[in-house]
Structure 1
Amino acid sequence: MIASRRFDIVLFGATGFTGQLTAEYLARASFSSKFHFAIAGRSRQKLKRLQRRLVSINPALSDQIGLIKADARKPGELAQMAASAKVVLSTAGPFVHHGELLVKACIDAGAHYADITGEPEFVDGLRIRCDEAAAARKVKIINCCGFDSIPHDFGAFYTVQQLTRGLSNESVQNSDLAVEGFVSASGRLSGGTLSSAIHAFSRVKTYLLQRSDLDKPDTERVIRPMFPKLSKREVLDAWACPFPTIDPQIILRSAANDPRYGGRFTYGHYVKVESLLRIVGGAAFLGGVFALSQIRASREWLLSKAGSNAGPSEHRRAKSWFEVIFRGELSLEGDEPEEREVLTSVSGKDPGYDETAKMLAETGLCLVQDARRLPKVYGVVTPVMGLGEPMLKRLQASGIKFRLLEEHR
């Protein structure tokens, strides 16, 4: 049934700032790759303006780009949109308020779905309420396909590959692996990201209650987070400050699904900071945002300042960058004990906008064009679980750099 869909990819939320960048990336990709896509959102007028811009990028798209009017609050419109697509990509957040109806429409229609959320409550809610239905329909629901959490999830995956290279499956399954990720970036957070964070802070109690239904222990393998602590790291020549994002949760789920991560796997997630003064300043800022998010009036004021459709200029984005350094250790006991250590990195350009748009677009293209080579894993899955090696190759080909910096055996 899915092979006869009108569009390979439908991009929902296309007229937002990140949505427009994703649409432009797809338009450029259409020069070298044959696929049909549509842009979707609430305003037909804004969609038409975007359609004209995409045609100016690639005139061959003049009679090929679809335009779909759909509202995140109207199940009927979402159902029609999902029924027209093999894959639906969404940039329309905050997802905890606008996302689940679309996910359910995609499951009912048998269309794969991917988004750029970094909202733990939304992702965990989908795991509780939508995973079984999606798996039964052989649909992939893949969250966190932007800067949260593609570089981190695939960076850990790449690091594990370097650690276990040349080992037998039996040796890997009997080994202990530990990976730490250290994030540094230059650039401005998107308004959508800030809005999502404010909503998440305001719903902490709801989220913690929901978490009690998840994270059942794995009786065969030990998969757990590292105990977070602030420390000075010589290998970084900087401080490592615990970084409470959704990324560790995503990486640990990927590890739990894949025996190549070893019999025992631990992960720690940090932001790389040059000085303690910056750590204090960052903590004060987050503490202030958290406190203001608890009160309705101040929360509304914060949301008005976030400006979800605003974004930096192309010139400013061109100066932005990110790098995640991973330190991995492997310990193999038995008749022939072995210790391995690697240092790897994942790096790219503007994380909040350009690279996030690229990552989401490549996710859609991977689901469509690499379908036969993807892992046979369905339901609410992580990027690595759902896309695996084909997506790693796409990221490398698209300019995201994966490097082995050091190796010790």
Structure 2
Amino acid sequence: MNGEPNSTSAREFDVVVFGATGFVGELTARYLAEHAPRGTKVALAGRSETKLAATRKRLPARAHDWPLIVADSSSPSSLDAMVARTRVVCTTVGPYLRYGEALVVAAASAGTDYVDLTGEAPFVHYSINKAHETAQATGARIVHSCGFDSVPSDLGVYLLYKKIADDNAGELTDTTFVVKSFKGGISGGTFDSVRVMAEESRNAETRRLVLNPHSLSGEPGNTPRPAIKSEPSDMSMISAKKVDPSMSGTLAPFFMAASNTRIVRRTNALLDNAYGEDFHYAETMSVGRIPGVSTVTAGAVAVGTGVFLGAMSFGPTRKLLDRLLPKPGEGPSEKAREKGSFVTETYTTTPSGRRYRSTMRMSGDPGYKATAVMLGESALSLALERDRLSPLTGVLTPAAAMGEVLTRRLQDAGATLEAVELT
């Protein structure tokens, strides 16, 4: 899955933030205004010049001369014009199944690198089929899932892979991601993606795609069709001691496992299955160490998740939930965003029995502030450090496209990312 990068050094901008008037779009633009190296050329894009100007006015003074670009996801010609002007397009305009398809194709055709926040596996599947070969030909890197979905998951496994390789310790086998703590909210954009996914899942082919654990692991037009049981269930309750003997209690299913696990497996496929022949991957969340209590809690989480997803796919209950859930473009106050944080740990064992753990820790609300940092640094990785990136092009994942570069940039931004051997 290699390709020769196409030079975009003559482009007018390094990064265009598309969707800058949305809540997370503005947070990302603010992050770039505060943290992008001096000389980085940034523009703001969206449907309304008036709203873009208002957004720019709220940003730090450094952004007040950033150009504004009017572009609309329903106007392919405006997207073509936008991506032709920049090295990287950074988009927060979702749900991506509804609004993202034309932009992916435009970026791939123009040889423009692309980052987004999608947690919609069917959208990534569409992107693989429609844009992967084009992007390879033009040298574009189309990198999906560059926020809380799925950077901690993807880099968590990648760090284990690099550490085990450095130790000459073999390969990864059963690998489990654990959300140890999560303080913050889930964005309105994420809930809107769930709404669209629920609607799309009424289609039998989409349901098969969503249930396929390796739906993103293949080449265009060649989706693997393994048995569903070939990988751990996304709704599993797992004994913590089976993950690692240092742990106790029962681990609950993690809400975003159905998307994150597919991204991690695609990374492994892009790296020619470098994680190992017996690599299997699950995602969970910690709900306490006390065995009986955590088992009951994990069961409640599993049931609650199933009920919620079922309710989102049923019209009358979805309308009720729509009144209660955050809307796209809405989000918590700055004070609440600052109080947020998350810690994730990923565990694996090598064939010889050596145990490893990676950790990622960030301050800031995971779905908002931390996501803006991850998305912003992903865009800067592609725009400013292209010569240090993997030679892979096409439809990629955060770890496959920019694993070591993004890890270092996030560390420099204050995140903890590390992998250690356990004894």
> TM-score band, normalised by the shorter chain?
0.7 to 0.9
Q: 1:368 — aligned with what?
A: 383
**Aligned equivalents of 1:199, 1:62: Cα separation in 2:** 35
Maintained 8 Å contact 1:201/1:290: yes
Q: 1:144 — aligned with what?
A: 145
Aligned residue for 2:224, secondary structure, equals coil
Tell me whether 1:62 sits opposite 2:64 in the alignment. yes
**Aligned equivalents of 1:304, 1:108: Cα separation in 2:** 40
Instruction: Return 5+ residue gaps in structure 1 as ranges.
Output: 219-223, 332-337
**Aligned equivalents of 1:159, 1:24: Cα separation in 2:** 32
Q: 2:252 — aligned with what?
A: 241
Tell me whether 1:40 sits opposite 2:40 in the alignment. no
Q: 2:57 — aligned with what?
A: 52
Maintained 8 Å contact 1:39/1:66: yes
Maintained 8 Å contact 1:104/1:130: yes
**Aligned equivalents of 2:131, 2:113: Cα separation in 1:** 13
TM-score normalised by the chain length of structure 2: 0.85
Q: 2:198 — aligned with what?
A: 201
Pairing partner for 2:412 from 375, 397, 402: 397
Tell me whether 1:271 sits opposite 2:279 in the alignment. no
Distance 1:188 1:263, change over 3 A: same
Distance 1:292 1:166, change over 3 A: closer
Tell me whether 1:216 sits opposite 2:227 in the alignment. no
Cα displacement (A) at 1:304? 4.9
**Aligned equivalents of 1:176, 1:284: Cα separation in 2:** 31
Aligned residue for 2:40, secondary structure, equals coil
Aligned residue for 1:117, secondary structure, equals coil
Cα displacement (A) at 1:201? 1.9
**Aligned equivalents of 1:13, 1:367: Cα separation in 2:** 19
Maintained 8 Å contact 2:407/2:417: no
Aligned residue for 1:128, secondary structure, equals helix
Q: 1:192 — aligned with what?
A: 189
**Aligned equivalents of 2:413, 2:258: Cα separation in 1:** 25
Tell me whether 1:11 sits opposite 2:17 in the alignment. yes
Distance 1:147 1:214, change over 3 A: farther
Cα displacement (A) at 1:96? 0.4
Q: 1:29 — aligned with what?
A: 35
Maintained 8 Å contact 2:110/2:138: no
**Aligned equivalents of 2:391, 2:121: Cα separation in 1:** 24
Maintained 8 Å contact 2:91/2:117: yes
Q: 2:238 — aligned with what?
A: 231
**Aligned equivalents of 1:124, 1:180: Cα separation in 2:** 24
Pairing partner for 2:174 from 178, 182, 185: 178
**Aligned equivalents of 2:345, 2:13: Cα separation in 1:** 38
Q: 1:328-367 alignment to 2 at 5 Å? A: 328-331=348-351, 338-349=352-363, 350-367=365-382
Maintained 8 Å contact 2:252/2:302: no
Deviations 1:119-168 (A, max 9, x none): 1111111112221111111111110000000011001111222223231x
Cα RMSD over matched residues?
2.2
Distance 1:155 1:176, change over 3 A: closer
Pairing partner for 1:252 from 244, 265, 270: 265
Cα displacement (A) at 1:272? 1.5
TM-score normalised by the chain length of structure 1: 0.88
The structure where strand makes up a greater share of residues is 1
Tell me whether 1:322 sits opposite 2:342 in the alignment. yes
**Aligned equivalents of 2:111, 2:319: Cα separation in 1:** 37
Aligned residue for 1:103, secondary structure, equals helix
Q: 1:375-386 alignment to 2 at 5 Å? A: 375-386=390-401
The code of the aligned residue for 2:177 comes to G
**Aligned equivalents of 1:321, 1:300: Cα separation in 2:** 31
Cα displacement (A) at 1:281? 4.0
Q: Greater CA deviation, 81-90 or 284-293?
A: 284-293
Distance 1:191 1:176, change over 3 A: closer
Deviations 1:164-198 (A, max 9, x none): 3231xxx74xx453321111312111111111112
Maintained 8 Å contact 1:225/1:252: no
Maintained 8 Å contact 2:173/2:280: yes
Maintained 8 Å contact 1:163/1:340: no
Distance 1:143 1:8, change over 3 A: same
Cα displacement (A) at 1:287? 3.2
Distance 1:277 1:15, change over 3 A: farther
